[in-house]
A and B are shown apart, each in its own frame.
Chain A
Amino acid sequence: MAKSDTPERSQGTLTVVRAASPVEAVKFETFIRITSDGSVTAYNGHVDLGTGIRTALGQIVAEELDVSFARVVVVLGDTALVPNQGATIASETIQITAVPLRKAAAQARQFLVARAAARLELAIEDLAIEDGLIRGKDNRSVSYGELIAGESIRLELADDVPVKDVGSYSIVGQSVPRVDLPAKATGELVYVHDVRIPGMLHGRVVRPPYAGVDVGDFIGSSLIAVDESSVSDIPGLVAVVHIGDFVGVVAEREENAIKAAAQLKLSWKPMPTLPDLKDIETALRANPSTPRKLIDRGDVEAAIAGAAKPMPRTYVWPYQMHASIGPSCAVADYQEDVTRVWSGTQNPHHLRTDLARLIHRREAEIEVIRLEAAGCYGRNCADDVSADAVLLSRAVGRPVRVQLTREQEHAWEPKGAAQLMDVNGGLNADGSVAGYDFATRYPSNGAPTLALLLTGAVPHTPAVFEMGDRTAIPPYDYENLRVVANDMPPIVRAAWLRGVSALPNTFAHESWIDECAAEACVDPIEYRLRYLKDPRAVDLVNAVAERAGWKPRPVREDKQAEGDIVRGRGFAYALYVHSKFPGYGAAWSAWIADVAVNKATGDVSVTRVVAGQDSGLMINPDGVRHQIHGNVIQSTSRALMEEVSFDRTSVTAREWGAYPIIKFPELPEIDVLMLPRQDQPPLGVGESASVPSAAAIANAIYDATGVRFRELPFTPERILRGLRGEAQTTPEALPAPPQPATARAWQNPFTGRGMFATAAALCAAAIGIGAAVLPWRVIAPIARPDASVYSAATIARGQQLAALGDCAVCHTSANGILNAGGKPLPTPFGTIYSTNITPDVETGIGAWSYPAFERAMREGIHRDGRHLYPAFPYTHFARTTDADMQALYAYLMAQPAVRAETPTNTLAFPFNVRPLMAGWNALFHTPAVFQPDQAKSEIWNRGAYLVEGLGHCSACHSPRNALGAETTGAHLAGGFAEGWEAPALTSLSQAPIPWSEDELYAYLRTGESRFHGVAAGPMAPVVAELAALPDSDIRAMAVYLASFNAAPMDRVTQEALAARLEASTLTRASAASSVGARIYQGACAVCHEVGGAPLFGSRPSLALNSNLHSAAPDNLIQVILRGIAKPAVTDLGYMPAFRDSLTDGQVAELVVYLRQQFAPDRPGWKDIHAAINRIRREHAR
């Protein structure tokens, strides 16, 4: 009995241990520790993945030790503290891993009882225990703590410890509230995401473009170059780290790490082409495999050859995601002696081995501290991010927290593998099964930790895991039976996901037997029972049938449709057999699923599930019930809607729109039937209830429709194809990846069009005219004017006018100083940089006299005589009255002077020849002050002055000719600016509800019109600036602009039209039957669906939005890619940019859907792909 350290000795401890592996820093691993203060600590090598095993293990220990549940603290998943019991997989914590813990607790109790008997001098039979207090029949007592006080007692775990009889249980078998929930419900530190340690930095990784692929000789060797200068402007950037294909950034603040990761320029080699994973069957058949016979009974060949009815069938399972709600996160603190890693791993010890290999350390020098993470249901990116954090911490010598993005978790998590199940089988003339020849293909290798692959620490050669065999042998006693697992390497990164290969295999077994029952005209449950010999299985099947009120149906009957809805009911059963073949069973499970199928839309809803389970002894029955609920819901989601999408190089589903999971309104009603088997050993309940899911639903769909579906998921499109008798599994082939297009920042509209010479000549000719007329001369510089000569009222008025003219919008760069210029303005002719209009004498307009200012404003000529480009809208500003011009000058001169040089413009010839602008002016510019139209009202004239003058609305809202001048005869007929469409403000407007004066007013005043939407893109800052103007001026602008529209509708008519448009386009009424529809539901509906729960910000109604009704998709694409980062006012809320989350293909699908759904009377847009491509390249960055 070894002694431990002094404080403990004085306190007293009892531990139950076993010898540790030589790689450990300690000699023993501990299962139970009791201290003399009476506290009990239990150690288990598995971790709580959110299933509540911490609570259940505490119950087991409390029960065996005879202490109260509250006294037990359960420690999980810290490699320095807990025994190495392997990965938390296969639902085996209670069934397998808890066994030594239970024995340890029993052993400790027996030791303490024996000691108490000696101390009290009583026979053991005369002792009773209550919460760690041992009381003799004479009522003398001694506590556990007293029995061990002052000693360090270490017991070696014995194998042959008798444990309590189930009949005497008082804690196990009772529903106990989860110990972790109060902290989770109140925001206490629970998760690995919440770890903060002193000096911690924030890291982000940048993954290679072969997203989600981890086999092939390009892995780890595809990075060509890292341009560190591309992130040199990021504040607090600490390091850019790259090793092989591993790339990471570290910054003091998280948001700056995010910016650096997004901004970092990397060059990668071209990516190899993936097989076409839209066609899983072909891809899996083409993947090399090695057959492994699992069972061969009877004479399968002969039986099938002689079958009266051949029944060959193929079943297909797609790639699916674990889809953890929280992307993986880890914190690492690399030190010379011990490296600590806070991780959400499901296998702390295995991870430690990986990390030791990654950084060339002994395992004893690494401690993995496992904290809770988002539920993982298998192998997600938790290990990957832990290794990432270690590499980054090592690089910077400080603790680093790494948070994967949603997109990275989606793209890189090891997918639940696709699977192909071939059945060759047949029926005898009497309807019995002649033979069952089953072959399954499962491409997974368990997904090595990514950093090992990316840095080249482990070879990229494809390994093969023998994991396709889970539940590959059907539960039915077929006389002639052969089962073969075709083991194969992965095609994309894949590992175990809840139910592993058992779920797909069972989909095949349970669909096939259902097909046989239908062929044999026997009730599907009765048919199964003929082949089901396991008595507990038979009990369960009967119990579930009774609970659900199953009516035997030897022959399927056509269902009475309720409108388009037909209903059906399906059964499936499974005993989840897992772990290394032949493995062992977890809980028995059976489902009866009720479905409603909409024959018009193909929408399937699972309305009710009766889920029966025999779990043996249930440690915490409420915990078991919750696991069954969770499995039913998650596997229903997988069956109905889940399928990873790919293009020909990588995973494309990178957010919840492209990979939807079930939502509250889609939930089935769930009736759980838990068989009382408290006298039987406890079984794993973490996955079993998932296993019958897909087959039960497929069988119910068959019952409803008479059509058999053999490939998941049961999306509306697939169901409709099936109902129409179209081929089910021949999706359109994906094209091979395109060659990257050469990037062009913009297109010179004249190159290659033969107009070059024309333009130059035209302008040159015009110079002749202009030269004769205009005296271009330098206006002498002056000392900076003294703004105090102007009254405060004049300056204030000038400030309003500056706002009206949007001076600051163009003359202020992103995050720059007000009016100091330098903002790049992309034009069709090249990039122009706005100038500094602060009163700095050297770099601004401080040396400008009023005449010089006025000349610039009215004629577009710089003080030094240079021509200005009409990106500066002097053609409009010229209309300003002299008094306003003076006020504007006063305001600008009263502002602080800022020294800021203006960058040089990058214009193509001939536009870089400024004197040509004289000709342009002669052709297109009439410098005349606004003259009111006496026939119109005063307010109209005021509006006209504001709109046509400083407001320069038509600069964007009118089309421009080839020379960039507003087209005559098309005033306010709509134009383009900065890549956004500025819609027509006249009756040419495409808005479904014509603009009225009130709505124009609301839009210009608040940035939002109920009937049109919110200001976005370049219009948002315009509205923001207009806030400086009084309501009367905004009203005047609205009056003037409204006069371009036909007779307005009254408010009541507008409301009625809006209500009609919104009601007819509600998406709730329709199934999400396309990729675009699902992206809308997952990404857009939360903020845009009419009638949705209120969220901070506005809820723009897409049915009414002009952009969806426009002739051009540009604004819709722009706002999807760029979002709204700077709304006109913050009350409107924000829209995230989806440019890094959706592929071009997905944006196109979404845009097509939005147009069809919300502007159904408009023709579909053409060339959407080209528009997305162009906008992404030109403007989205």
Chain B
Amino acid sequence: MTQSTMRLTVNGKAYDVGAAPDTALLYVLRNDLELNGPKYGCGLGECGACAVLIDGVAARSCVIPIEGCVGRDIVTLEGLGTREHPDPVQQAFIDEQAAQCGYCLNGMIIATKALLLRSPHPSEDEVLEALRHHLCRCGAHVEIMRAAMRAAGHVVEAQA
């Protein structure tokens, strides 16, 4: 098997990656670039834990080989912001305490970000639709919805 080098642009930086072209992007992000944001959840694109932005669109990095990512702009959770300078979506999730274990959080934030990139003022239904195929097992959905709505500029009422 040929082990070629592929150039990937992740979070604004170019990386030459020595992995087989059919290697899923997720493993390169996690192992070669040491990014923790995208998570392995199912390897089938079903759960959304591995979500990243590719050219500004949400993508499931567990089912996309790196050969499909050459020349594209990849952004991970880390590329959105940091603890000191979080992206408004990250800040909304922190403000709403929108996680329990937090393993799905990456996908929830990326999906919300992707939604806002294409639709800056989404309705509640659009938010639900954007998150529909992101699974959360802890049942943090209420807080996640509040966070996504807050990020989308909706006024979120305080809870009783």
Contact = CB atoms under 8 A, between A and B. Distances in A.
A629 B140 contact: yes
Interface in B103-160: 103-106, 109, 111, 114-115, 118, 128-143, 145, 159-160
Contacts of A324: 103, 137
Contacts, number: 245
A458 B124 CA distance: 53
Interface in A657-697: 657, 661-665, 667, 670-672
Interface in A728-749: none
A558 interface: no
A744 B69 CA distance: 38
B141 A1136 contact: no
A329 B30 CA distance: 14
A1134 B65 contact: yes
Interface string B1-42: 111000000000000000110111001001100111101111
Interface in A203-262: 233, 235, 253-256
Interface in A319-367: 322-327, 329
A1100 B69 CA distance: 20
* Most chain A CB atoms below 10 A, which of B22, B42, B93, B142: B42
Contact of A1141 (B20, B44, B57, B132): B44
A188 interface: yes
Given A815-B2, A1095-B57, A629 B137 contact: no
Interface in A1066-1113: 1082-1083, 1085-1087, 1091-1097
Contacts of B115: 1093
Interface stretch (A57-65, A72-80, A176-184): A176-184
A630 B20 contact: no
Contacts of A190: 36, 102
Interface in B44-78: 44-49, 54-55, 57-60, 62-65, 67-70, 76-78
A259 to B, nearest CB: 9
A375 B118 contact: no
A1083 B78 CA distance: 27
Nearest to A329: B40
Contacts of B45: 1086-1087, 1136
* Most chain A CB atoms below 10 A, which of B46, B101, B115, B134: B101
A1095 B78 contact: no
A989 interface: no
A788 interface: no
A115 interface: no
Contacts of B128: 664-665
A1096 B1 contact: no
Interface in A145-176: none
Given A181-B93, A255-B27, A625 B159 contact: yes
Contact of A634 (B1, B31, B137): B137
A626 interface: yes
B32 to A, nearest CB: 9
Given A182-B83, A187-B36, A1135-B63, A326 B41 contact: yes
A667 B127 CA distance: 13
A51 B145 CA distance: 18
A185 interface: yes
A194 interface: yes
A50 B142 contact: no
Given A625-B159, A630-B139, A1134 B64 contact: yes
Contact of A667 (B1, B137, B142): B142
A186 B2 CA distance: 35
B139 A325 contact: no
Contact of B139 (A196, A631, A1085): A631
Contact of A185 (B31, B86, B136, B145): B86
Contacts of B39: 191, 193, 326
B133 A1096 contact: no
B134 to A, nearest CB: 8
Given A186-B77, A375-B138, A1095 B34 contact: no
Contact of B90 (A51, A185, A1087, A1123): A185
A629 to B, nearest CB: 5
* Most chain A CB atoms below 10 A, which of B45, B59, B78, B105: B45
A983 interface: no
B159 to A, nearest CB: 7
A1092 B129 CA distance: 7
B1 A233 contact: yes
Given A186-B83, A630-B139, A235 B1 contact: yes
A1133 interface: yes
A878 interface: no
Contacts of B83: 182-183, 186, 188
A255 B37 contact: no
A1125 interface: yes
B133 to A, nearest CB: 4
* Most chain A CB atoms below 10 A, which of B39, B40, B97, B138: B138
Interface in A583-637: 622, 625-626, 629-634, 637
B3 A51 contact: no
Contacts of B133: 663, 1085-1086, 1092-1093
Nearest to B115: A1093
A629 B118 CA distance: 30
B77 A187 contact: yes
A191 B68 contact: no
A484 interface: no
B132 to A, nearest CB: 5
A167 B80 CA distance: 44
A1158 interface: no
A1093 B103 CA distance: 21
Contacts of B106: 187
A1039 to B, nearest CB: 32
Contact of A184 (B105, B114, B139, B159): B105
Nearest to B148: A664
A433 interface: no
A445 interface: no
Contact of A629 (B3, B31, B142): B142
A4 interface: no
A406 B42 contact: yes
Given A186-B90, A187-B76, A1134-B63, A655 B111 contact: no
Nearest to A657: B46
A920 interface: no
Contacts of A1085: 133
A982 to B, nearest CB: 25
* Most chain B CB atoms below 10 A, which of A181, A188, A194, A1123: A181
* Most chain B CB atoms below 10 A, which of A178, A183, A375, A1138: A375
27 contacts: A50-B99, A181-B94, A184-B99, A185-B94, A187-B76, A190-B36, A235-B3, A325-B135, A326-B40, A327-B40, A375-B103, A375-B137, A377-B137, A406-B44, A625-B159, A629-B143, A633-B139, A655-B44, A661-B137, A670-B142, A672-B160, A815-B2, A815-B20, A1092-B129, A1093-B130, A1096-B64, A1097-B64
Interface of B: 1-3, 19-20, 22-24, 27, 30-31, 34-37, 39-49, 54-55, 57-60, 62-65, 67-70, 76-78, 80-83, 86, 90, 93-94, 97-106, 109, 111, 114-115, 118, 128-143, 145, 159-160
Interface of A: 49-52, 177-178, 180-191, 193-194, 196, 202, 233, 235, 253-256, 322-327, 329, 372-375, 377, 403, 405-406, 622, 625-626, 629-634, 637, 655-657, 661-665, 667, 670-672, 815, 1082-1083, 1085-1087, 1091-1097, 1123, 1125, 1127, 1130, 1133-1136, 1138, 1141
Given A184-B105, A1086-B45, 10 more contacts: A177-B97, A185-B90, A325-B136, A633-B139, A634-B138, A655-B44, A664-B131, A667-B142, A1096-B58, A1141-B44
